[in-house]
Each structure stands twice: as C-alpha cells, then as structure tokens.
Structure 1
Amino acid sequence: MPELSHMLPRLILASQSVARKALLQELGIEVATCPTHSDETFDMSDPADVVAMLARRKLQAYRKEHPSYTLPVLCCDTLIWFEGKLIGKPVDQMDAKNQLQSFSGKAQQVYSGWALWYENQEFCDADRALVWFKDLDEPAIEAYLETREWEGAAGSYRIQGLGKHLVDRIDGDKGTVIGLPVEQLKRILEEKTSP
C-alpha cells in the first residue's frame, strides 16, 4: 500500500484542529489550514452516520465559501459514544471532570468521520476505535484538568498529549481517536484511485 503522503502530498485541512494537522504533517503531508463553519446540529443516533454527515457538511460549506481551489480539501469530525449517548466537547471544566469521572475504568467508542474532495470526487466515511480508560482517582483527574488540555477536545482528553496517561489501551486506529482515521483514508483512496 502506498504511503498516504504519495497520494496526498499537499492538502487543505478545513479545520482548526492542531492534532489533525500535526498527524498529517507527521505523515509527510504539507498542510494548509483553513477553518470552515457549518451547522453541527444532528438528530441521527448512529454515531458513524453522524460524524460522516458532519464532516460532509463541513466540506460542502468549505466548497461554497471557496469556489476556486486546486488542492484536495479534507474535513473531519469526532464524537464519542458512551453508555448509549453521544459525547462531544465539554462546555466547561466541571463538564470535563464529569466526563472523565464517568469514563473511569470503562470503554468508550470514538468515531471519526471525514470527507475529502480529491481529483473532482468526494470521498466520505467514518471509523470507530474502542478506548479503554484506567481506573481514575480524583487526584489524577484534577491533575489532568489543570493542564487545560481538555479544552476543545471531544470527551475531555487528547490521546496524543497527556491524555494518553488516562488510557489503558486502544482497540483500533489511534488516528481515529486523534480525529483522523488515517488507515481507513489510505485504504479507501487506494481502492478508489488505483487503475
């Protein structure tokens, strides 16, 4: 399988996500960021459908705002499915604390959806990874909250940062937990673009 950087040497990441940008750059991809805004409300309950739909909306909003561009455009969205409901970004520190306390010693499903405009085609999909949390005591949660790393992070943690110390293991693509299912994106691009 060719490297993702050979298929996508340069792209526009229509996102403010520092983590996604860093992940793409680690893969050798030249990334320009251009955040886009779209309606993020939803009423579907299937998490994979929700994140794929939200990523597609972002891509459509980007294409409407920027009718002329030459690079591929990538949009993403990430949500957590835990105990029968979708978990997004915390609204404040107390919300973050409550989320982390509820995750202690349990598993959650992280869904990341993506939409890519590439060679005049739209590609869109979603992936799931299972994240198993350690048993977290109050001091561990408080110490993590003090880092402020939870701000703007779905589920109140960042696996690529200090949040990795809260997690026991990941079943699936770590990229999915960061917010970009790299392995799935690579596989689908190879399938769709090979002669």
Structure 2
Amino acid sequence: MPDFIYLASQSPRRRQLLDQLGVRHELLLADADEDAETLEAVHGREAPARYVQRVTALKLAAAVARHRARGLPQAPILCADTTVALGARILGKPEDAQDATRMLQALSGQRHRVLTAVAVQHGAERLQALSVSQVEFDTLGAAQIAAYVASGEPLGKAGAYAVQGRAQAFIRQLRGSYSGIMGLPMFETAQLLRQAGLAC
C-alpha cells in the first residue's frame, strides 16, 4: 500500500488541501524546457468539461513521463486542472490586468460554472473524476473590480479570481464543492486516492 503520492502541480492551494486530507505528497514539477502553456490551449469551440478533462489527462501523461525519466520510486501521481465557464465560454488564467478586468466584468451579476478535473495514475490504471460547481457573482462596480485587480490576486487564477481570497465578498451564492473551486475537490480526490490504496 503506498504511503505517499506525487503531486504534479505548483498550486499551494492543492498542497494545502492534500494536507487537510492527511495525504503525504512530494512535488513532481515540470522541467524548465516543458511547455505547460501549450497544454492549456483551447481547441476551437471545445466544451468546458471536455477541455478541462483533456488538459488534466495531458498534464498527467507529462507527469508520468517525467517520473519515468527521473527514475523515481513508484507511487500514485495526481494531477488536476480548473477552469471557469460562463455559458460555453472558457475563462482561463488572465494574461494581464486588462484581461482580468474584462473577465470580472463578464462575471459581474452572472452565474457561472467552475470545473475541476482530477486524475490519478496508479501503476497502469488511470482514475479520473470531475467536479462541477455553480457560483453567482453580485453586480460589481468599476471601482470594486479595479481595486481587486490592483491587489494582484486575479493573476494566475482561472476566471481571474480566488474563491478563498478577497473575491469571497463578490459571491452571492455557491453550489457545489468549495474545495473544487479552490482547485482540488476533496470528496472526489479522496475517493480516487482510496481506489489507489491510500488512507484518507
């Protein structure tokens, strides 16, 4: 029975959530020459659920190859990816402050979905799950958006906001998985890790 996993993610939130599950983990991060940005490119009018699951599968495949190339000890490998969808429109990580402002203007007063796909490689077996939550934003004023963007928090976050940060003040209603919106749905992740033989 494995006593730890590899986490192929730079997200400190995912590490925090795994700590809460009591799962010991080691980071399995990409080398400098790996092009992670290309993996996250949207293909045409790709549906959000299909997109986030495809990206997670690609990230996991890259992590498995990285693990093999480095000759590391065997243990399950976990990957996850989160995206925000406004209707069929995928809102990824903003390119800059102006892009973040546009995203927040689009989300203002609207209900959107947050989708997080999780995948675990356990030997030859690949386990997968998808968490879908709904978030409704209050109507945001220009000054609110400008102050939030100026804080720097929206950069590097899908949909240009962090549910565990200042953006909590924007959320009128949330249905689904709070941890999934953070980036790692604890219920689904615990189920997958138990299937892989870990105690959660």
Pairwise TM-score range, normalised by the shorter structure: 0.7 to 0.9
The equivalent of 1:151 in structure 2 is 155
Could you list the structure 1 runs, at least 4 aligned residues long, displaced by more than 6 angstroms after superposition: none
Deviation at residue 19 of structure 1 after TM alignment: 1.4
The reply on whether 1:66 has 2:67 as its aligned counterpart is: yes
Could you tell me how far apart the structure 1 residues matched to 2:49 and 2:174 are? Answer: 18
**1:8/1:86 CA distance change after superposition, 3 Å:** farther
2:29 paired with 1:35: yes
Equivalent in the alignment of 1:185: 189
Counterpart in the other structure of 1:17 = 11
1:163 aligns with 2:167: yes
> Aligned AA for 1:40?
E
2:55 aligned partner, one-letter code = L
Aligned 1:1-195 pairs, distance under 5 A = 10-36=4-30, 37=34, 38=36, 39-43=39-43, 45-67=46-68, 68=71, 69-190=73-194
AA matched with 2:107: F
Contact 1:51 1:114 in 2 (8 A): no
Q: Give me the whole-angstrom Cα distance separating, in 1, the residues matched to 2:154 and 2:2.
A: 30
Letter of the structure 1 residue corresponding to residue 88 of structure 2: G
Letter of the aligned partner of 1:131 in structure 2?
V
Shift of the 144–9 alpha-carbon distance from structure 1 to 2, 3 Å rule, reads farther
Matched letter for residue 144 of structure 1: Y
RMSD, matched Cα = 2.3
1:127–1:181 contact (8 Å) kept in structure 2: yes
Q: CA deviation at 1:180?
A: 1.3
Change (3 A) 1:120 1:83: closer
SS at match of 1:155: helix
Contact 1:79 1:88 in 2 (8 A): yes
Name the TM-score, length of structure 1 as normaliser.
0.86
Whole-angstrom distance in 1 between the partners of 2:175 and 2:2? 26
Structure 2: which amino acid aligns with 1:22? Q
TM-score by length of 2: 0.84
* Partner SS for 2:149: helix
Q: Which amino acid aligns with 2:25?
A: V
Q: Which runs of 5+ in 1 are unaligned?
A: 1-6
Deviates more, 1:38-47 or 1:19-28: 38-47
Q: Which AA in structure 1 matches 2:96? A: D
Distance 1:78 1:167, change over 3 A: same
Unaligned stretches of 5+ residues in structure 2:
none
SS in 1 for 2:22: coil
For 1:9 and 1:158, the matched residues in 2 are separated by: 31
Q: Helix, strand or coil for the counterpart of 2:99?
A: helix
Residue aligned with 1:81, SS: strand
Shift of 1:170: 1.2
- Number of residue pairs matched by the alignment: 188
Helix, strand or coil at the partner of 2:159: helix
Deviation for aligned residue 1:108: 0.6
